[in-house]
Amino acid sequence: MVGLFSCLAFRKKVVKVEDTDRARSASRTSVSRQRKDRVHENENVNDDANLGIANAAAQLRSPAKAFTYRELCIATGMFNGANTIGEGGFGKVFKGRLDTGEIVAIKQLNHEGIQGSQEFIIEVLMLSLLHHPNLMGLKGYCTDGDEKLLIYEYMPQGSLEDHLFGNPSLMPNWVPLDWNTRIKIAIDTAKGLEYLHCRADPPVIFRDLKPANILLDNDFHAKLSDFGLAKLGPVGDKTHVSTRVMGTYGYCAPEYAMSGKLTIRSDIYSFGVVLLEIISGRKAIDPSRGRAEQNLVEWALPIFKDRTKFYKLADPALRGQYPVRCFHQAIAIIAICLQEMPLHRPFIKDVLVALEYLATQPYIPAAAGSAERSPCRPSPSQRDQSRY
């Protein structure tokens, strides 16, 4: 493990992130006003919220375009259910075609929850500031009256969640990801986090890392999406940010879940959970399994201590087609990311170096000899190679 996580001496380019206090303050005031007047909501409150978002985007010189609700109705066929490509706490996501012919993903705010409005404001601010190949690009937004929508680049292969666990409604011809593609996705995810943690100033804590928030293009390049819960990290002498506990059960770091103390190493724990899902094909929380296996991390922790049982962590869908040595090293990376004490977890730049090392030793079926034979008997791949 020491070799995998040796300290790095190089310096990275730092991207300055202005906190935009005035813009965020105006946005928070709008959200607070909505919360107080939830029963007697009026148009003035909505106008203030919309003005706050517009002013914030203008101050940040965001390339995101302001769309009208009518434009987005046309783009989605009046938000036709047939164009639905996802749904989450924020609301539904639709596939749409702009008048320029560009295909985009359009996320519509769920009117039922006030939290969605706050996430909307934060996401516009964050994506106006942060730009990286492994972060989702914001094309525009809409704040017509009560309607609040975000327009993103379209990711044709959907989410990592769809590919790990299968989604028959969206992917009738689903085939499991091969080992090399899984490592590639893990590296892209780590690159996105490395940008947020190491090159943004102050650092940004993603706070909701999970397979559903990792989207894939046609070449299976991964990008982080859904910045509604993102938080600026501690600066100066501060060691953490105190905040209300939010995120997804099964992915939150234990110290954050118990105390609300948030650090960049909280994201490292979440990354460990996601990487464990990637290699095992199991969900972080799965009520359909037996009681001892419902919580993935609790089930896996004893296995980390017994090398002879590592094979139990392999996704059966891999059909034994993975390099055993790299598989064991991936388990070592996961184990150190899931350390209970935050300070015992590595920085994301070190995790990235370790994963990139694994990528230099891909699984090549024709060259897989007895030394790299997995505990499960290999079988012919079912993957449609033309897709990759």
In the chain, residues under CATH classification 3.30.200.20 are 18-153
Q: Is the pLDDT of residue 293 over 80?
A: yes
Query: How high is the pLDDT of residue 96?
Result: 97
Smallest Cα–Cα separation from 281: which of 326, 242, 259, 313? Answer: 313
- 208 classed as catalytic: yes
> Mean pLDDT across the stretch 274-300?
97
Q: Is the pLDDT of residue 136 over 50?
A: yes
For the four alpha carbons of 83, 159, 316 and 292, in that order, the dihedral sign comes to negative
Specify whether domain 18-153 bears CATH 3.30.200.20.
yes
> Mean pLDDT across the stretch 313-326?
96
Query: How high is the pLDDT of residue 167?
Result: 67
Q: Which residue has the higher pLDDT, 119 or 6?
A: 119
Query: How high is the pLDDT of residue 321?
Result: 96
Q: 369-382 pLDDT, tens per residue?
A: 544 444 443 333 33
Q: Which residue has the higher pLDDT, 350 or 243?
A: 350
Q: Is the pLDDT of residue 122 over 60?
A: yes
What is Dmax (Cα atoms) for the chain?
71
In the chain, residues under CATH classification 1.10.510.10 are 160-387
Query: How high is the pLDDT of residue 244?
Result: 82
Q: Percentage of the chain with pLDDT > 70?
A: 75
- Strands 103-109, 204-205: pairing is unpaired
For the four alpha carbons of 308, 320, 222 and 211, in that order, the dihedral sign comes to negative
**Residues 98-104: contacts with CB within 8 Å, 24+ apart?**
98/71, 99/71, 99/74, 99/75, 102/139, 103/154, 104/75, 104/139, 104/151, 104/152, 104/153, 104/154
- Compute, in degrees rounded to 10, the torsion defined by CA atoms 115, 232, 144, 55: 140
Q: Which residue has the higher pLDDT, 65 or 306?
A: 306
Q: Is the pLDDT of residue 314 over 70?
A: yes
134's tokens: 């492994």
79's tokens: 């938000």
What is this structure's pTM? 0.80
Smallest Cα–Cα separation from 209: which of 135, 311, 115? Answer: 135
Q: How confident is the model at residue 115 (pLDDT cuts 50, 70, 90)?
A: low
Three-class DSSP category at 89? coil
Q: 248-268 pLDDT, tens per residue?
A: 999 999 999 999 989 999 999
Q: Is the pLDDT of residue 337 over 60?
A: yes
- Given 162, 188, 208, 267, the catalytic residue: 208
DSSP type of residue 12:
P
Q: Average model confidence (pLDDT) for the chain?
A: 81
Helix (H) or strand (E) holding 313: none
Q: Which residue has the higher pLDDT, 149 or 145?
A: 149
Specify whether domain 160-387 bears CATH 3.30.460.80.
no
> Mean pLDDT across the stretch 377-388?
33
Q: Is the pLDDT of residue 161 over 90?
A: yes
Query: How high is the pLDDT of residue 49?
Result: 46
Q: Is the pLDDT of residue 319 over 60?
A: yes
Three-class DSSP category at 319? coil
The span from the CA of 59 to the CA of 208, in Å, is 27
The span from the CA of 109 to the CA of 346, in Å, is 36
> Mean pLDDT across the stretch 298-316?
97
How big is the chain by its Cα radius of gyration, in Å? 22
User: Would the annotation count 107 as a binding residue?
Assistant: yes
Query: How high is the pLDDT of residue 256?
Result: 93
Q: Which residue has the higher pLDDT, 98 or 381?
A: 98
Tokens 């359909």 locate to 288
Q: Percentage of the chain with pLDDT > 90?
A: 59
The span from the CA of 274 to the CA of 283, in Å, is 9
**Which residue type, as a one-letter code, is found at position 341?**
M
